Structure formats: C-alpha cells, structure tokens
Amino acid sequence: MHSIAETLSGITLGVTNDAEIESRLEEIKREEREQHAMEQRKAINVPAWWTVEKFDESRWPALKSWIATGDMKSNLLIVGPTNVGKSHAACALALRAATEEKATIYRLREHAFYPLWDQARYHDSGLFRDVVEKAKRADVLVYDDLGKVEITKGTEYALTPFGCVLFDIFDERAERRRVNYVTTRYPAFDLLKKAVGEDFIRRVLQREGEDASRGRIIAYRSAQKHAEAE
C-alpha cells in the first residue's frame, strides 16, 4: 500500500528499519562521490578507459599505497623517460583523490598551456585567465611535462615571462597548501634544477627547510638511481 506522497512523487520509500536507512544513505553518498568523480574526470581530460583500476602498479611500486588509500598529503614529482606512464600515474592518483576525498582536480600540460599564454599576450580572450584560476584553485593539480618549455633564462635564478606565470601558479598553490602531481622527463635532478631553477622545484614540492616529507620525487624504476642521488 503506497502513501499519497509516494503515489504523487512516484518514489517508493518503503524503508522499514535503521539498517536499511543506513545502507540507502551509504548508497546515496557513493552515488554522489561517483558523480563528483565523473565531473572531475572532464577537468583532467583523460580517455574513458583510463580508470584507477586499470593502473598497473608494478610499474610504480612507490605509488602502490597511494593508489590504495587516496592519500593526497604530499606533492609528487614523477620522473621518467617518455611513454612509461607518468601522466597515467598522476591522473590515476588525482582521480583517486577526486573519488575518495571529493577533491577538485585539474590538469595543465605545459606544451598546451604555453601557446595559450603566448596568445593571451596579444589577445586576452579570458580563457587564459580562467585556466590560470582553475590551476591555482584545484585541490589537486596534475602538471605534465615540466621543463618542456623554457622556464628560466639559462641560469637557475632568472625566470622567463612564461616561467613567471608558472611560478605564480605554484607559489599561490604553496601558500594555499594545494597538492601538485608534476611529471617531467628530465632524467637527472641536476638537469631539471638547471632548466627550471631550484626555487621553482621548491614551490612545486612545497618543501620547507629540512622537511622533505611534503614533497617527494618518484622515479620510474630504471631511473631510480638518479632520484636517489638527489
């Protein structure tokens, strides 16, 4: 027998006990989380088949526990040669954070961001500012291919104009304690330091003084030696 409210709304309540109410609430929460994660997926622009479940942990043993727990307390610099799955790893972690922590996530690719910045110098469509704002505000930023475009003027102390824009993004993120997952192809830390500057790396990893725990360098297995030397 349906109540009038049930008949009019078309929703059958029919809840009989606390356990059932609880399990329905759980289900609603889970649906909300999934909905949120689906919306966030768009912001990192990955193909439909890229799911956290597809993530092959054997490629990145150091990230295993992260993927399991969705920990988003530390910043990561993911280092490795091309095509080893750096972006995939960063996006999988971000997607995990979007699902578990209901975090907002965003992805910037240096090679795509640079032309947008270049264009904005001559004609500001508003799109560039929108992208910068999103990159600053997202709980988790995936930044791909750090150092692909020149960030310093050949010494590690002076930034290029594009480098200034990037520095500003990571500086604000550091102030707001927002998490960064950054990928780079620079095989040796020394080379990366020369290309983007130590100050820049410190902003990305948000390391303060001796405290290195907030920022970690994760290297693809065959590149491990370089990272350990750092």
Ligand X SMILES: Nc1ncnc2c1ncn2[C@@H]1O[C@H](COP(=O)(O)OP(=O)(O)OP(=O)(O)O)[C@@H](O)[C@H]1O
Phi-psi map region of 74: left, alpha, beta (phi>0 left; psi -120 to 50 alpha):
beta
Site for ligand X in 169-188 (CB under 6 A): 183, 185
Say which residues have a Cβ less than 8 Å from residue 18's Cβ, sequence separation at least 6: none
Candidates 75-83, 117-125, 126-134, 148-156 — which segment interacts with ligand X by CB under 6 A? 75-83
- State the Cα–Cα distance between residues 199 and 61, nearest whole angstrom: 29
**Which residue, 57 or 171, is less far from ligand X as judged by CB?**
57
- State the Cα–Cα distance between residues 58 and 139, nearest whole angstrom: 27
* Residue 184 binding Mg ion, by CB under 5 A: no
- Contact between 185 and 81 under an 8 Å Cβ cutoff? The reply is yes
* Residue 88 binding ligand X, by CB under 6 A: yes
What residue 82 binds from Mg ion, ligand X, none (CB within 5 to 8 A, per partner kind)? Answer: ligand X
**Which residue, 49 or 122, is less far from ligand X as judged by CB?**
49
What residue 88 binds from ligand X, Mg ion, none (CB within 5 to 8 A, per partner kind)? Answer: ligand X
* Site residues for ligand X per CB under 6 A: 54-56, 59, 80, 82-88, 145, 183, 185
